Amino acid sequence: MRYKQGIGGRTVGGRVGILLKIFTFVCVVFGIALIVATWFFFMRPLTLDSWFSRFALGAAGLEHKQTQGPDGRLSWFEGGTGDITLVLLHGEGEQAGNWARVTMPLVERYRVVIPDLAGHGQSDPAEGPIGVDQVLAGIKTILDTTCEARPVVLVGNSLGARVAFLIALQRPSQVERIVALNGGPLRVDDPMVNVFPINREEAQKTMEGLMGPNAKSIPDTVLDDIVRRSQTGPAARLKAGAEGTNAFFLDDRLGEVDTPVDLIWGSADQLYPVEYAQSLIEGLPAVRLTTIPDCGHVPQRECPVLMVEALLQVLDQGPPPAKGM
């Protein structure tokens, strides 16, 4: 018995064949995607986390933008409204998505700019050593592109905090405030935490030194990826480009930073412990310290709710007055 003719003369059997081909194609594509996702989940979990965090920035209403800088492409996210512009600067080895957990409440009140530092995320250079001078040049280019001559508040974590101090020293009329999270421009010659672990056991100790006592345990797959990145990622490239960068520390020049500074500090951080913050307080003309108990080196990821509360509080209070006033 022949199949009845369908629409356009096509047989029912022909339509079934086409549907089977489409179904087979979809299954193959889905299978490949599942294999790739599984590989990244077990072999490159930090890359997967970066993708999701950058997607979260877009979901929060920030637009991904790019421009040409001194060393090639510069990348950042931008969104929100308000008279005050917050520029969020991530730490070494990270990227703009590092701020994803705190972005939503900030864009409701402020204009927010979140750069990928040079050599990080999607900002060039993609290979080779990264000099702090390149990082500074990249941020200044992004500021010129997004903020023109308007004043900004620089909010930096770890390396991002050091960059904030250096930019403020070079552009005091543009940077009206600094908010430093567990970082600054003082050199640490003998850090208590090894940020370049070479095996899983060392990586576990590294994370214990960077995180608070209430943080979740780190899976072995993530620890292995931390080891891989510490040897070949942006942090290692920054280390390779660190020769001759003494000018990018302010050990004897803190008094030159006239910009008011708020320090928001995870008190459990062993890389930059609270004693480091106290050294900053001794040398800065206008400074105030707010601590986050039992939080580690990266408060915006580990303790996002408490970090946002602390940041909004210090911004609402106005800048800290100069000493003696």
**Tens digit of pLDDT for each residue in 306-321?**
999 999 999 999 999 9
User: Which pLDDT does position 213 carry in this prediction?
Assistant: 92
pLDDT of residue 245: 63
Burial of residue 325, with CB atoms counted within 10 A of its CB: 0-12 exposed, 13-18 middle, 19 or more buried: exposed
Residue 251's pLDDT is 92
Asked whether residue 325 is domain-assigned, the answer is no
Residues 83 and 18 in one domain: no
Same domain, 72 and 183: yes
Same domain? For 35 and 96 the reply is no
Confidence check: pLDDT of 212 > 80 = yes
CA atoms of 251 and 184, how far apart (whole Å): 10
pLDDT at 20: 61
113, 234: one domain:
yes
- Contact partners, residue 251, CB within 8 Å, separation at least 6: 185, 186, 187
Residues 25 and 51 both lie in one domain: no
In this prediction, residues 262-277 reach a mean pLDDT of 97
SS3 call for 33: helix
Within a domain: residue 62? yes
Judge if 201 and 289 occupy the same domain.
yes
20 and 59 Cβ atoms separated by less than 8 Å: no
Q: Is the dihedral of CA 68, 74, 76, 81 positive or negative?
A: negative
What six digits make up the tokens of 232?
A: 């070949």
Q: Is the pLDDT of residue 240 over 50?
A: yes
Range of the domain at 15: 10-39
Within-domain flag for 324 = no
The 10s digit of each residue's pLDDT in 165-200 is 999 999 999 999 999 999 999 998 889 999 999 999
4 has a pLDDT exceeding 50: no
Residue 100 lies inside a defined structural domain of this protein: yes
DSSP alpha helix (H) spans, the chain: 12-43, 45-59, 100-107, 132-146, 159-170, 200-210, 220-232, 234-240, 274-283, 299-302, 304-317
33 and 65 in a single domain? The answer is no
Helix, strand, coil share (%) of the chain residues, nearest 5: 45, 15, 35
70-82 pLDDT tens trace: 999 999 999 998 8
With CA atoms as reference, report the closest residue to 248 among 186, 156, 195, 181: 186
Same domain, 107 and 228: yes
* Domain membership flag for residue 1: no
- pLDDT band of 215, cuts 50, 70, 90: confident
What does the DSSP 8-state code read for residue 11? B
Does residue 2 lie in a domain region? no
**Res 116: pLDDT:** 98
Q: What is the pLDDT of residue 7?
A: 44
Dihedral angle of Cα 151, 131, 54, 148, to the nearest 10 degrees: 20
**Within a domain: 323:** no
pLDDT of residue 9: 46
88/34 same-domain check: no
Same domain? For 114 and 28 the reply is: no
CATH code: domain of residue 165: 3.40.50.1820
Q: Is the pLDDT of residue 40 over 70?
A: no
For the chain, the residue count is: 325
Which pLDDT value is given to residue 217? 87
Q: Which residue did the predictor score with more confidence, 239 or 12?
A: 239
How many domains does the chain divide into?
2
Q: How confident is the model at residue 12 (pLDDT cuts 50, 70, 90)?
A: low
Q: Is 179 helix (H, G, I), strand (E, B) or coil?
A: strand
Kindly state whether residues 17 and 107 are assigned to the same domain.
Answer: no
Q: Which of 29-33, 93-97, 113-117, 202-206 has the lowest mean pLDDT?
A: 29-33
Render pLDDT for 107-136 as a digit per residue (tens, 0 to 9): 999 999 999 999 999 999 999 999 989 999
Pair 35, 142 in one domain? no
> Residue 3: inside a domain, yes or no?
no
Helix (H, G, I), strand (E, B) or coil at 105: helix
